[in-house]
Amino acid sequence: MRDSYDLLVIGGGINGAGIARDAAGRGLSVLLVEKGDLGGATSSASSKLIHGGLRYLEQYEFRLVREALAEREVLLRLAPHIAWPLRFVLPHRPAMRPAWLIRAGLFLYDHLARRVTLPASRSLAPGDPLLAPLAAGARGFAYSDAWVEDSRLTLLNARDAARRGAEVLVRTAFVDATRDARGWTARLVGPDGAARSVRARAMVNAAGPWVMATQAATGAPASGRVRLVRGSHIVVPRLHDGDQAFILQNDDGRVVFVIPYEGRFSLIGTTDEPQGDEAPVCTPAEEAYLCAAVSAQFARPVTPADIVWRYAGVRPLFDDGAGAASEVTRDYVLRLDEGGAPLLTVYGGKITTFRHLAQEAVDRLCRAMGRDAAAWTAGAVLPGGDLGGLSLAAFEEAAALRFRFLPRAVLARMVRCYGSEIDLVLAGAEGLNDLGPDLGAGLYACEIAWMKAHEFATTAEDVLWRRTKRGLHLDDAARDRAARAIEALLA
């Protein structure tokens, strides 16, 4: 463990992990610190989408949409095991937006950036099978975006950063820092309460919802503000057959997604509500709002009694002075302070554009530090993403031949979790007995050993709700048993 680095990155969400990965790959010595778990806040509480943001076109955010659409194709290449195409159905409600306006928006969506893997949009007439879950007589449109396991995307960026030489510390809090012309001296507190002092030539403030508090702790003046906006989601038993998702135009002008989730469920979200400094929770009013939005257009109504899980995240959006929370820009802003050693602060951003954000951030930092290192992340797959040129389905079939003892549902989950690293997770296993106990919902002890050794897992919550979603598939008693067993294995 060293005490001096080129770069200290504060915050282990998707932006901090992406910046640490990019910087480490350019030869910088990097320390990434996260006060909780990697992706433990905003980056694991999203709608799980890689998308251009169709509704952002109405706000004239053309640059953001173009960049996000281009990044969508990049991420599908870099992480094919945790990200895949998703077809969306947009029911047409004449009272909300005229059909010609939607067609024009979808034409732009299809052509603002080059599409490689995703099909173009099309109109849907009444009776089209894609419209079957909706009320009788519905018309609409279909277009393409993509889905991602957000918490694993964050984790894999941190893992790749570590693989390229970065030091990654979870459960480690940034306390404060002082700066001189040559660098920063930062105080950290580890999970055992022990203090540590480190030096860094430059720092990145990627603390997300805590970006303003972190900025204050550096002693450097803030060059922007964030506006905290809560996005809540609910999960209910699956509402429809088929792999399509729905984007519903709601009466208030917002949109609500209905997304197939974890095989047995539908994920419904999101809201846009002002958020204070307290921990975010999905409120009864938000639950009712989401249920009503779906019930107004689906043949099968949804009530709060159907909810099996809910979560809320805080979006730290760059405060551009917009009135309504839903109108605040989703674009990111990077501010580089060179009043001494460099400090780069990240305001805003979205999962889809994290890689481009990280590339731009490290470009600026390298120039500030006099380093000449080329960008590289657009063509480098994340851990587990090298499927040997196979599609995900073909890779799963090949894995099924190697691991014939695995139930097919367990194999499919592991492939979508670990990708090509499934061979490392199951190294030496010739039967189910070699995997250790099934802790619940097909989660095996060998996976906990892998997560402890390679995925920075320290608690049962890390495992059940972020590295996997097995917690969703267990009842309360089974979840408690699994948690106790996992904690023992992680000790």
Show the tokens assigned to 61: 């955010």
Q: Are residues 141 and 235 in the same domain?
A: yes
Verify that 94 and 119 share a domain, yes or no: yes
pLDDT score of 202:
98
* Domain CATH for 279: 3.30.9.10
Residues 399/422, Cβ–Cβ less than 8 Å: yes
Instruction: Give the pLDDT confidence score for residue 83 in this predicted structure.
Output: 97
Q: What is the pLDDT along the chain (491 residues), one digit of tens a residue?
A: 789 999 999 999 999 999 999 999 999 999 999 999 999 999 999 999 999 888 888 777 888 899 999 999 999 999 999 999 999 999 998 878 888 989 999 999 999 988 888 999 999 999 999 999 999 999 999 999 999 999 999 999 999 999 999 999 999 999 999 999 899 999 999 999 999 999 999 999 999 999 999 999 999 999 999 999 999 999 999 999 999 999 999 988 899 999 999 999 999 999 999 999 899 999 999 999 999 999 999 999 999 999 999 999 999 999 887 767 666 777 899 999 999 999 999 999 999 999 999 999 999 999 999 999 999 999 999 999 999 999 999 999 999 999 999 999 999 999 999 999 999 999 999 999 999 999 999 999 999 999 999 999 999 999 999 999 999 999 999 999 999 999 999 99
Q: Determine, yes or no, domain membership for 142.
A: yes
Q: Considering the entire predicted model, what is its pTM?
A: 0.96
Examine the domain organization and report whether 194 and 333 are in the same domain.
yes
Whether residue 293 is found in the same domain as residue 410: no
217 with 255, same domain?
Answer: no
Return the pLDDT at 326: 66
With respect to residue 52, please indicate whether it lies within any of the assigned structural domains. Answer: no
Give the closest residue to 157 by CA, choosing from 351, 394, 425.
351
Q: What is the CATH number of the domain that holds 422?
A: 1.10.8.870
* 232 domain residue, yes or no: yes
Q: What is the pairing mode between strands 255-261 and 245-249?
A: antiparallel
Which residues span the domain enclosing 447?
A: 392-490
CATH of the domain at 189: 3.50.50.60
* 241 and 304 co-located in one domain: yes
Asked, for residue 54, whether it belongs to a domain, the answer is: no
CB 192 within 8 A of CB 211: no
CA distance 425 to 339: 47
Whether 142 and 232 map to the same domain: the answer is: yes
Q: 281 with 305, same domain? A: yes
Judge whether 63 lies within some domain: no
Q: What is residue 113's predicted lDDT score, i.e. its pLDDT?
A: 85
* Count of structural domains within the chain: 3
Please indicate, yes or no, if residue 188 is contained in any of the structural domains.
Answer: yes
- Regarding whether 314 and 284 lie in a shared domain, the answer is yes
* pLDDT of amino acid 323: 64
Residue 460's alpha-carbon distances to 37, 231, 445, in angstroms, are 11, 25, 12
Examine the domain organization and report whether 353 and 262 are in the same domain: no
* Same domain as 220, residue 244: no
479, 398: one domain: yes
Q: Would you state the pLDDT for residue 287?
A: 98
The count of residues in the chain is 491
C-alpha–C-alpha distance, residues 452 and 170, integer Å = 12
Q: Is residue 60 part of a domain?
A: no
In a domain, 365, yes or no: yes
Q: What are phi and psi of 406, to 5 degrees?
A: -80, 130
What is the rounded distance in angstroms from the CA atom of residue 412 to the CA atom of residue 299?
Answer: 31
